[in-house]
């Protein structure tokens, strides 16, 4: 009868190999592609392709009136609706006006005068979207 302890299994005493330089380059390249794609997505959130709006200037005329000059560019075959509004120092909307640029036009340059209940601090054109087709 053998009373000796069982023999330990043979082990490989070579050090574990990491990813190596090539592995880290592949992982880094993959991460860079993902980060770049995410940056493009985040840069375009809330925008509608082919529609551009720009506030050119605004003028607070008095405590109840603000004038805004703006431009909207769009595809000729789309009807686009935007909002022109005036706001106070806390960005509370004081007055707004819907603007429609009909199909058949590539854009609009206009000046609007908004009447506000109290003094505005600014005005802008925003929220341009293709109008629902009906």
Q: Where are the domains of the chain?
A: 19-48, 52-130
* CA dihedral of residues 23, 28, 33, 38 (deg, nearest 10): 130
* CA-wise closest residue to 66 among 108, 94, 100: 94
Indicate the average pLDDT of the chain.
86
Q: Tell me what percent of the residues of the chain surpass a pLDDT of 90.
A: 59
pLDDT at 24: 85
- Alpha-carbon distance 131 to 116, whole Å? 27
Under the banding of pLDDT at 50, 70 and 90, the label for residue 37 is confident
CATH 1.20.120 is right for the domain spanning 52-130: no
- Alpha-carbon distance 97 to 67, whole Å? 12
Per-residue model confidence as pLDDT tens digits over 71-129: 999 999 999 999 999 999 999 999 999 999 999 999 999 999 999 999 999 999 999 99
């Amino acid at each position: 009868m053998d009373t000796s302890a069982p023999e330990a299994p043979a082990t490989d005493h070579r050090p574990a190999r990491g990813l190596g330089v090539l592995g880290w380059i592949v992982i880094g390249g993959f991460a860079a592609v993902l980060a770049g794609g995410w940056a493009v997505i985040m840069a375009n959130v809330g925008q509608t392709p082919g529609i551009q709006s720009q506030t050119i200037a605004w003028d607070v005329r008095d405590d109840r009136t603000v004038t805004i000059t703006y431009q909207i560019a769009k595809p000729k075959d789309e009807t686009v609706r935007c909002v022109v509004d005036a706001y106070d120092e806390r960005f509370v909307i004081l007055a707004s006006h819907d603007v429609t640029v009909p199909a058949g036009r590539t854009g609009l340059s206009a000046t609007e005068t908004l009447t506000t209940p109290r003094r505005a601090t600014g005005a802008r054109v925003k929220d341009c979207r293709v109008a629902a087709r009906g």
